[in-house]
Structure 1
Amino acid sequence: MLGYAFRRVLSAIPIALIAVTVCFFILRLAPGGPFDGERALPPTVLANLRAHYNLDQPLIMQYFIYVGRLLQGDLGPSMVIDGFNVADLIRIGFPFTLTLALYAFVIATAIGIVAGIIAAVNQNKWPDYVLVLVVMIGVVVPNFLSAALLQLGFGVHLRWLPAGGWVSGSIAHLVLPITVLAWPHAARISRLMRGSMIEVLGSNYVRTARAKGLGERLVLARHAIKPALLPVVSYLGPGLSYLLTGSLAVEQIFGLPGIGKYFVQAALNRDYGIVLGTTILYMFIILALNLLVDLVYAWLDPKVRYN
């Protein structure tokens, strides 16, 4: 198991380098720059700024300078937010983003698993139809649209919950953002769990357990749930990464103090350092989550062996 994990880490290094390279050149070749604004800077000031951030160098030299600093753990400075480097902004905003995503992840995973089991046990009955309808809404409606609808309904018209903003320690300000993030994730989990559970309930060993006189609850608890979780576990790593990246837009919509507001503004202002630093952060998170999912998958399924 440890040898497999080590090989996966080594195999991820070229992937990470390719991703960094592609993101770097896409950003630098896009029209505009961090110092293009409504009011043009004096040529001398602009030349000094470009020299300070190595933007006066050939593009390939800028790339090698960036990769060299990255290998030393330096994500570089922000070109728009004065006095902050990328690592500082990540330390400020990422804990809130991670907390928001983890809350949504835990809630959505629990709801999705339970809903999938209920739908599978009641296949082609009214609970199954209701859950399938709710799932389809969660999958089809994009989070920016559901966020606007929830803000309008519960925040503006009904005034049951805050429509946006953040007050430290306030759970009420997190209800709508977590709902927006958790709904699609719970919908996908429930679809996976339903399909997997239906397949497991029709397997030979489950029919044998029922023939021995075991009750339905014992059959589910001892024989059905664990193997049915395998497709769900495979999705959990990418699912958490989707929540982390999806939270960037949700934070911007609800005005939350996560890394999303820095990332969106940086993308609009061509702040190369923040966009690249955030992209690299999420890339390593996704690689780590995929490795963790593989290890958990091997633990759940004894037939899987990594030699």
Structure 2
Amino acid sequence: MFGYALRRVASAIPVVLIAITLCFFILRLAPGGPFDGERALPPDVLKNLRAFYHLDQPLIVQYFIYVMGVFRGDLGPSMVMTDFSVSQLMLIGLPFTLTLGFSAFIIGTVLGLVAGALAALYQNRWPDYVLVFVVLIGLIIPNFLMANLLQLLFGVYLRWLPAGGYVPGSWIHMVLPITILVLPHGGRVARLMRGSMIEVLGTNYVRTARSKGLGTRLILARHAIKPALLPVVSYLGPGLSYLLTGSLVVEQVFALPGIGKYFITAALNRDYGLVLGTTILYMFIILVLNLIVDIVYAWLDPKVRYR
């Protein structure tokens, strides 16, 4: 297993390099730049800034300078937030984004597993119909629209919850953002769990267990839960990465101090270093999560062996 993990890491390096290359050249070739504001800078100041950030060098030279810095662990400076490096901004925003994403991941996964299992047990009966309807609502309505609807309902009209902003240490400001992220994630988990559980409950060994007089709880605990989890586990890695990247929109809507705020600001201001740094960070998170999912999948299914 350890050798497999090393091979996965080694095979991911070319993918990361290709992604960095594409992002680098797409950003550089896009119109505008980090110093193109409404008020033009004096020529001497602009020349010094371009020289400081190596923007006066040929594009291919800029690329190799940046890549060599990345391999040294240096994501470079922010060209708009001049008092901070990209790594410092990541360290400021990443803990909040991880807290938001992992909270929604745990809550959504638990609720989705329970809802999917109940829907499978009561297949084609009213609990199944109600749960499927709630799941579809979470899947159909986009995050930004659901966020605005819940802001209006609970933040403006009912005034039960804050409509935006964040106070350190106050979990009440996290309720609406986490809810927005939980709905689609829990819905996908519930759909996968329902379909997988229905399939498992119809297998021969489950029917044999029922014929021996085993109760429903015992059958679920001993025979159904573990094989039914396999499709869900395959989704959890991409699902968590979706939550962490999808939180960019939620953080912007609710004015939260996560990476999303820095990323969107950097994209609007052509802050090359911060956009590339955020992209590299999310690529790293996705690769790590997919590796963890592969290991957990092998633990759940003994038939899977990585050679």
| TM-score range relative to shorter protein | over 0.9
* Separation of aligned partners in 1, 2:133 and 2:209: 32
> What's the CA shift for 1:140?
1.1
Report what 1:183 is aligned to.
Answer: 183
- What stretches of structure 1 move > 4 A for 4+ residues in a row? none
Report what 1:48 is aligned to.
Answer: 48
* Separation of aligned partners in 2, 1:38 and 1:145: 32
Corresponding pairs, count: 307
For 1:132, give the aligned amino acid: V
* Separation of aligned partners in 2, 1:257 and 1:203: 49
> What's the CA shift for 1:11?
0.7
Report what 2:85 is aligned to.
Answer: 85
Post-superposition CA distance 1:180-223 (Å, at most 9, x none):
01110000000000000000000111111111110111111110
Unpaired segments of 5 or more residues in structure 1? Answer: none
* Separation of aligned partners in 2, 1:124 and 1:25: 53
> What's the CA shift for 1:260?
1.1
Report what 1:70 is aligned to.
Answer: 70
Report what 1:283 is aligned to.
Answer: 283
Paired-residue identity, %: 76
Post-superposition CA distance 1:88-108 (Å, at most 9, x none):
000111101100111100000
Report what 2:240 is aligned to.
Answer: 240
1:151-230 alignment runs, 5 A limit? 151-230=151-230
Report what 1:266 is aligned to.
Answer: 266
For 1:200, give the aligned amino acid: V
* Separation of aligned partners in 2, 1:291 and 1:48: 44
Report what 1:58 is aligned to.
Answer: 58
Report what 1:28 is aligned to.
Answer: 28
Report what 1:8 is aligned to.
Answer: 8
Post-superposition CA distance 1:209-262 (Å, at most 9, x none):
111110111111110011000010001111110010011111111111111111
Is 97-106 or 40-49 further displaced after alignment? Answer: 40-49
Report what 2:257 is aligned to.
Answer: 257
For 1:288, give the aligned amino acid: V
> What's the CA shift for 1:136?
1.0
> What's the CA shift for 1:2?
1.1
TM-score with structure 1 setting the length: 0.99
Note if 1:298 corresponds to 2:285: no
SS of the aligned residue for 1:229 comes to helix
* Separation of aligned partners in 1, 2:131 and 2:25: 45
* Separation of aligned partners in 2, 1:259 and 1:10: 27
For 2:280, give the aligned amino acid: I
TM-score with structure 2 setting the length: 0.99
> What's the CA shift for 1:3?
1.2
* Separation of aligned partners in 2, 1:166 and 1:62: 38
